[in-house]
Structures are given as C-alpha cells and as structure tokens.
Structure 1
Amino acid sequence: MAWHSEAPPSARAAAMVHALQPSERQVIELVTASPTAAIEWTAQEVAERAGVGRTTVMRACQSLGYRGYPQLRVALAAELGAAQAAGGRVGPAGGEPSALDRIVHEIGETARSLVASASMLDGEAIDGAVGRIAGAQRVLVVANGLSSAVASGLAMRLSSHGRHAEFIADSLAQQISARHLSVRDVCVVVSGSGANDASLRAAAAAGAAGASVIAITSFAASALSEAADLALVIAPSGVTFRDELEHASRVSLLLFAEVLVRAVVRAAGGRAQSAHAHTLEVISEHLEGE
C-alpha cells in the first residue's frame, strides 16, 4: 500500500498486524515495545534479540513502508520525541500515581494515538466515500460484534442530519438487505478486524448487487479492505498493536464515524442543515416534556 509520510511507526504497525508474517511480527513487537532502546540497536542486534535473520528485519521494515532499519530508527526517534514533548505528569514525584493520575495519563495517551490513527487515511478514498454516501439513493450500514455500536451510531447520526441510513443488527438480514441494493446505493461495512465472516458476507452481497462497498476498518491489509471499493483505514488507538489486541478498543472508529458524518453533512449542504433543524425540534420537544 502507499504509505503517508506522516504515519508514525506505531500506527503503521497497528494497521498492518494482520499482514505481517509471524517472524516479522516478532521484530515489530520487539521494536515497538522498546522504542527508546530500539533507536540505539543495529539491524543485527534486532535480529538477534528477536531470534530471526537479518533479512527478516529488513522485510519487517519494508512491510511498514521503510526502506530499511535505519529509516525505521529515525521514525521511532521522531515519534518518541513528539510523545515526550506532549507528555505530562503521571503522578506525584516520588509517589505512587493515584487512580485519577492514571486516568488522566491514559486519556492523554489515547488522545495522542488518535491523532496518529488518522495518518493512515487516504485523501482520495475519503473524498470518494463522502461523495458516494452523500449522493446515494440508499445507505446501508453493516457491522457485527464489537463494531456494531460504531455502525449503529453512524447510521443514527447520518439519519439525524437528513442522510437516511439503515442499520440492521441481524447478520442474515444484513445479507438479504445488502443483496437488494442497487448501483445507486452504498453499503458501509464497519469492522475493526476486517475479518468478521458475517460482515464479509454482507459486503460480498452488496458487491454482487452492484452497490458501492465502503469499508471502515483498523487494518490496511484485510479481507474486507480487499473486498471494498473504498477502504478507510483508521489505525487502532493503542500505543502498540499489542494494546489493541488486548483491549480491542473501538474508540478510534467511534471518533472517525462522528467526523465522517460531519464531512457528509458539509457535502450535502442546505438539505442537511434543514434536516438537522427538524431533528433539533424533535429533541427540544422531548426535553420540554422532561
């Protein structure tokens, strides 16, 4: 894939975890787990510490879009420097951090990683997705598992702004509805892993119907991104892809869904503004009855 120069190593690693060979994954896990130390290592030292050959280190670096380990070291140093510049207090000097200190620190870490997560997005894919969603006759939003909440929220937010969108929870009903789409319609498939079988079947059904398939996923190399007409890759929000695998957070996808709606609203222009005004009227009437 074409990498964006501003995408930091942690975001690239998180987005490519499914595409890495096991030996390459060992290299990247080692380097991202100890970035400060890795900056000082040579490619041979990385190979010895990871228990792989030096050529594997080279392939791992190239899988992340770098020519070799020297370029990865420079990128690691840049990312580490940016994180340190933005870092703050974790706890009182010489004392154990409180629960509040830890929460504030983790919020800061998540905020910084969210900025990095957007570095994987492609401008042409974004423009194409926004235009197709705004102009489609029908929009079907599909997701299963942990991504369902993201898809449900996306459909609701689009509908509240006058861009009616459907979200169907049942996996079989998703496929049936997707197969009934047409070339004038769009199917948005949300899958963090990009490998959910039910979501993939819905994407295939939509494609067979001639509809545009737009993937919103966390990984650049996945079955879903390959099946979609447009793939919007939001890197996982964990500091490393090990964090993402352990916690399976969808916070980066939730945030992206929100800003995607705003982009569609801007593309829709006055029609969306009028619809949003009607939505606010309904909300206002509900609040008056509280």
Structure 2
Amino acid sequence: MSWTGAIDAKPSVRMAALAPDLLRTERLVVDAIAQDRGKATELTAQELAEWAGVGRTTVIRAAQALGYEGYSQLRVALVQELASESSAPVVESDASSLGVIRGRMLQVGSRLEHTLAVLTPEAIDSVLDTLDTADRVLVVGNGLSGPLAMALVMRLNAAGRSVEYFADPIAQQIAAKQLGAGSALFVLSGSGASRPTLEVMNAAQESGARVIAVTSFARSAVAKLADVPLVMPPTEETFHDELIHTSRGALMLFLEELVDLFVERRGERGRIARQTAISMLGRAIAD
C-alpha cells in the first residue's frame, strides 16, 4: 500500500500516516528523515542510505511508499515543506505553565489541517450514507479510544440515529456477530492495532456487516481490515511522540463535524432530532 491521500499532502503527514507499518529498512529511512528533514534535503539517495544504514534501493522504495516517483521528488517536497514552515508567523508564548500549554495547543492546531490529507469525499459520503441507511449500527472503541466511542454514541443518538455501544470486549464481539447484512460497525482506534477491536471487526465482517474505521495509521491492521477506513495521521511530529502523548483531540473534532454533517444531510429528520435533544437537555438543566 502506498499513499492514496491528497497529492499536495506534506512529507511529514505522509510519514506519520504510513511509517509505523513500513518495512523495517524503509522505516529506518523515514526515521532518519524525520530526525532532521533539513539535513535530508542536502543528501543524495546514496548518502541518505549510508546515514540510515540501508541500501540505496531501500531509500527509493521508501520514497515510493510515501507516494513519490523517487527520492528526488521527495527531496523537493521536503524543501517546500520546510520553506512553508519558515515563512509561517511565529507565535510568541511565555515560559509559564499556561504559556507552555498555549504554545503546545497552537502547535497541534497548526497541524490539524494536515490530519485530513488522507481522507476523500467519497469515503466521507459513504460513511454518511451508511449511518443514514443501516439497519443497526454498533460503535466500538477500546482503551484510549473508548471515550471517543461513548461521545460519538451520544452525538449520534441526539442526531436521531439509534446506535449500540458496549464497553466489554466480549459483549462487543457478541453484538458484532449478530449484526448481519444491512448493518454497520463503526470502529474507533487511534493506534489501529487494538486486538480486542480487531476481533470485533472480524466478527462483524463474518456476519456480513459493513465495517467503518477511524484510525491514525494507513497501514495499520484496523485500516486494512475495514471496508471504509478513515485515516487521520496523528498531530504529533513523530510516531514516538504519538505513542507518548496519544492525543485524540483531532479525532474528536473530526467526529463532531462528521455528526453535524450527518444532521444536515438528514434534512428535516435531522432538524427535528436535534430540536428534540435540545429540548431534553433544557429540561435537565436547573434554573
């Protein structure tokens, strides 16, 4: 599998989405580039190969896996990316704890646009159609993706789309096995490698259900198994950072917008459902 997202997606976005599941030697190339993109732009394919400790052909294969014809095209893209970053306005922040938090949030915010680079209009439309027409919808998220799944369930129910949710992995598998054709499983997995989630996906597909997955890595097991994978590269600069910080902020924002779009697509049905939900919330709020 190679890059299938936006053709203008930056190299760092492609690396974040694809690197974790590249061949080991190709991963060495990508890690070397991520370590110092500026240095990489000054190296030939042979020099980069020596730096990464691999053969020259591995450098070319790594570049092609990222969606480029060869390393020369990857070098040009790296230069363009670094140039755009150097021309971006610098946001000043103080050294206080609040200043540090503000700076980090602004840093993540600046990368949010790139998390959409792998998505396509066709995939989004397919998900919206499935949510609208499926007989049953089961939402699954385990580990750090669990809160995302619960939030999605609440939002979809408020939008008039009745969905099912179980926190226990065994209960998830039982429900998935009973979905059947015409139903759907909606999976949330940032890492794309959760074993309980993969088992639920297998159970759903065996039942004939359609499987939708939102994940961070294009070559992850979850992305490969899903009928409709929605891949959103992590906002962290490296895979190491993503493992340490495991941010789900971008995924949460995306899901909120997806549900809003779902409500709009349902027209009058969506408007009535939303008004009903607001009315119920109003009753629950004390004067």
Interval containing the TM-score (normalised by the shorter chain)? over 0.9
Q: Which residue of 1 aligns with 2:70?
A: 68
List structure 1 segments (4+ residues) > 4 angstroms apart after TM superposition: none
2:52 aligns with one of 50, 53, 76: 50
Aligned to 1:225: 223
Aligned equivalents of 1:168, 1:82: Cα separation in 2: 45
Larger CA deviation: 83-92 vs 40-49: 83-92
Question: What is the deviation of 1:244?
Answer: 1.0
* Offset, 1:180: 1.2
1 CA distance for matches of 2:112 and 2:93?
Answer: 23
CA distance 1:270–1:84, change in 2 (3 Å) = farther
> Which amino acid letter does the alignment assign opposite residue 207 of structure 1?
Q
Give the counterpart letter for 1:89 in structure 2.
V
CA contact (8 A) 2:20 2:239 kept: no
Higher relative contact order (CA 8 A, sep 6+): 1
Letter in 2 for 1:185: S
Quote the RMSD (CA, aligned, Å): 1.6
**What secondary structure does 1:66 align onto?**
coil
1:245 aligned counterpart, secondary structure: helix
* Residue in structure 1 matching 2:24, options 4, 22, 25: 22
What secondary structure, in the 3-state scheme, does the structure 2 residue paired with 1:86 have?
coil
Equivalences for 1:170-209 in 2 at 5 Å? 170-209=168-207
Given residue 152 of structure 1, which amino acid in structure 2 is its aligned partner? M
1:209-228 superposed Cα distances (whole Å, 9 cap, x missing partner): 11111111111112222221
Partner AA of 2:247 in structure 1 = S
Whether 2:34 is the aligned partner of 1:32: answer: yes
- The one-letter code matched in structure 1 to 2:229 is A
Aligned length: 285
Q: Which runs of 5+ in 1 are unaligned?
A: none
Counterpart CA distance in 2 for 1:34 and 1:104 is: 25
Shift of 1:200: 0.8
Secondary structure, counterpart of 1:18 in structure 2: helix
TM-score, normalization: structure 1?
0.93
Percent of aligned positions that are identical: 42
**Cα distance, 1:239 vs structure 2:** 1.9
TM-score between the two structures when normalised by the length of structure 2 = 0.94
Q: Tell me the alpha carbon deviations over residues 37-74 of structure 1, each in whole angstroms, 9 at most, x when there is no partner.
A: 22222222211211211111111111111112221122
1:214 aligns with 2:212: yes
